[in-house]
């Protein structure tokens, strides 16, 4: 059960389900998929990374791929490097926000983005068929390239008014969780004139706290913001694609605010469409409504689905409510660096502290619940929820989301487990609970394993 092969990539427990053998097979798989073409590889800082990366490269080379190895690099840095070169794809050894006992294999398409579901399915089908391409000629030498982080950093810096931000000399606390974002995260802030207090700042892969950037794991960051009097605190996850934010009072403002704040700044300067998934807070709709010429597209859950919607609608910004912001000017991938830069620009344009800016945004309460339900009953549940929603607006691109004037509820099947997830959001917790309860009632008779 602990090996997960899904459209989002592969994750497993190191030494148990995530082994060198599996990594080599995934190299054979991806090498077959890209027909032995050029490929870029990287890893986060987990100590299991080098061995897995070595095995992965072996598999790639057996299919005839020429390999460029970025060493330790962030997911957005790797994506940016893939998108700007002639590689046919990229692979990062990372289990993202999972604990250190885990590792994973994340594929990138030739655009440097998470592959769309149909592409990911093709990759999985090659793995399952074990019908791998074989190239008997001697492998070409692995090319080492340490420049990906720097190239990504310069691109991010070129997109914000560096001097105007630097003039404010913001004090910032950054928690890099000893992950891949340590060096570029810090350099970004320093180049933007910030006085940086850097927590967990060595790329050792020894995670000082549970690595998911959520409130319960970031009490150290909140304390450091308070004790240093910083204007803002930032937390990256181990592969530096997600960012959580703490305001100057030491309050964890929630992962939903990263995309909300980035959208506020983006809409102000470059009006257009934003794409977010169905489970993302309605805050961004309210922000879009305030800015002429701006609107929000809702996609199915999953980074690749957001990216597909962004490309289709030429979105100026996009992301997910888990702290993942995508700025297409950099690359279509979630990126903690551009997220920090946009939020600092927002602060630099205001004479108010972050807490006041946040309090000026609409406030919602979101509740999330999961319930066991066998797969064959889930479709029935979705139909029942839809039938019960005649007074709302239904979006059924991924489960069923119903929007009412006062809030919304979403019911969808998990991709990996026999459960349904229900989320509901409204202005107050009581209202969110009653929307959640309404959905739950529609499917109450179907509950159970």
Active site residues: 96
Give the interface segment with Mg ion, choosing from 8-16, 188-196, 238-246, 280-288 (CB under 5 A): 238-246
Q: How far is CA 341 from CA 171, 279, 281, in A?
A: 14, 25, 22
Which residues inside 52-111 make contact with Mg ion, applying CB under 5 A? 96
Q: Does 239 bind Mg ion (CB under 5 A)?
A: yes
Give the number of residues in contact with Mg ion, rule: CB under 5 A: 4
Task: Output the smallest distance, CB 345 to Mg ion, in A.
Answer: 23
Closest-approach residue to Mg ion (CB): 96
Is the separation of the CB atoms in 316 and 328 below 8 Å? yes
- Complex with Mg ion: residue 48 or 96, whichever CB lies closer: 96
CA 124/CA 314 separation, integer angstroms:
29
- Complex with Mg ion: residue 61 or 78, whichever CB lies closer: 78
Task: Output the smallest distance, CB 26 to Mg ion, in A.
Answer: 18
For residue 218, which of 242, 183, 195 has the smallest C-alpha distance?
Answer: 242
Is the separation of the CB atoms in 195 and 208 below 8 Å? no
Task: Output the smallest distance, CB 303 to Mg ion, in A.
Answer: 10
Give the interface segment with Mg ion, choosing from 209-217, 237-245, 310-318, 368-376 (CB under 5 A): 237-245
Using CB under 5 A as the criterion, what x/- string covers residues 147-166 for binding Mg ion?
--------------------
- State the burial class of residue 405 (Cβ atoms within 10 Å of its Cβ: 0-12, 13-18, 19+): exposed
Q: Does 32 bind Mg ion (CB under 5 A)?
A: no
- Complex with Mg ion: residue 99 or 372, whichever CB lies closer: 99
Q: Which of 25, 44, 212, 241 binds Mg ion (CB under 5 A)?
A: 241
- Using left for φ > 0, alpha for ψ between -120 and 50, and beta otherwise, residue 150 falls in alpha
Q: What is 296-315 written as a DSSP string?
A: EEEE-SSHHHHHHHHHHTT-
Task: Output the smallest distance, CB 336 to Mg ion, in A.
Answer: 9
CA 243/CA 323 separation, integer angstroms:
5
- Using left for φ > 0, alpha for ψ between -120 and 50, and beta otherwise, residue 102 falls in beta
Phi, psi of 432 (to 5 degrees): -65, -40
Q: Which of 175, 212, 237, 256 binds Mg ion (CB under 5 A)?
A: 237
For residue 111, which of 272, 310, 257, 286 has the smallest C-alpha distance?
Answer: 310
Phi, psi of 319 (to 5 degrees): 155, -165
**Residues 267-280, buried b or exposed e (16+ Cβ, 10 A)?**
beeeebbbbbbbbb
Phi, psi of 353 (to 5 degrees): -70, 165
Task: Output the smallest distance, CB 102 to Mg ion, in A.
Answer: 12
- Complex with Mg ion: residue 115 or 250, whichever CB lies closer: 115
- Complex with Mg ion: residue 285 or 303, whichever CB lies closer: 303
Task: Output the smallest distance, CB 383 to Mg ion, in A.
Answer: 35
- Complex with Mg ion: residue 34 or 244, whichever CB lies closer: 244
Binding-site ranges for Mg ion (CB under 5 A): 96, 237, 239, 241
């Amino acid at each position: 059960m602990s090996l997960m092969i899904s459209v989002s990539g592969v994750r497993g427990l190191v030494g148990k389900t995530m082994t060198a053998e599996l990594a080599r097979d995934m190299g054979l798989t991806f090498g077959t998929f890209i027909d032995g073409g050029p490929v870029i590889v990287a890893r986060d800082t987990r100590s299991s990374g080098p061995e897995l990366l070595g095995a992965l490269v072996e598999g790639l080379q057996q299919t005839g791929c020429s390999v460029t190895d970025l060493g330790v690099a962030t997911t957005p840095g790797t994506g940016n490097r893939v998108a700007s070169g002639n590689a046919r794809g990229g692979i990062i050894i990372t289990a993202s926000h999972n604990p250190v006992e885990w590792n994973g294999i994340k594929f990138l398409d030739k655009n440097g983005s998470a592959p769309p579901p149909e592409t990911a399915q093709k990759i999985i089908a090659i793995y399952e068929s074990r019908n791998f391409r074989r190239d008997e000629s001697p492998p070409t030498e692995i090319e080492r390239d340490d420049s990906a982080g720097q190239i990504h950093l310069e691109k991010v810096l070129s997109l914000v008014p560096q001097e105007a931000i630097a003039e404010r000399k913001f004090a910032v606390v950054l928690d890099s969780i000893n992950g891949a974002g340590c060096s570029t995260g810090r350099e970004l802030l320093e180049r933007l004139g910030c006085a940086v207090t850097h927590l967990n700042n060595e790329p050792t892969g020894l995670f000082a706290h549970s690595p998911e950037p959520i409130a319960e794991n970031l009490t150290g960051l909140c304390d450091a913001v308070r004790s240093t009097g910083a204007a803002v605190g930032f937390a990256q996850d181990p592969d530096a694609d997600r960012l959580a934010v703490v305001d100057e009072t030491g309050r964890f403002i929630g992962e939903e605010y990263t995309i909300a704040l980035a959208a506020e700044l983006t809409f102000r300067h470059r009006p257009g469409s934003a794409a977010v998934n169905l489970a993302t807070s309605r805050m961004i709709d309210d922000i879009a409504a305030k800015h002429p010429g701006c609107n929000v597209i809702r996609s199915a859950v999953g980074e690749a689905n957001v990216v597909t919607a962004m490309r289709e609608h030429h979105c100026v910004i996009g992301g997910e409510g888990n702290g993942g912001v995508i700025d297409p000017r950099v690359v279509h991938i979630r990126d903690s660096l551009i997220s920090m830069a946009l939020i600092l620009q927002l602060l630099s344009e205001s004479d108010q502290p972050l807490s006041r800016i946040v309090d000026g945004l609409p406030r919602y309460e979101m509740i999330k619940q999961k319930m066991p339900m066998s797969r064959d009953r889930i479709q029935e549940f979705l139909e029942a929820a839809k039938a019960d929603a005649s007074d709302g607006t239904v979006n059924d691109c991924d489960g069923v989301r119903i929007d009412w004037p006062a809030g919304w509820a979403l019911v969808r099947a998990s991709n990996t487990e026999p459960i349904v997830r229900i989320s509901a959001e409204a202005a107050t917790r009581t209202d969110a609970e009653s929307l959640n309860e309404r959905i739950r009632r529609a499917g109450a008779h179907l509950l159970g394993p």
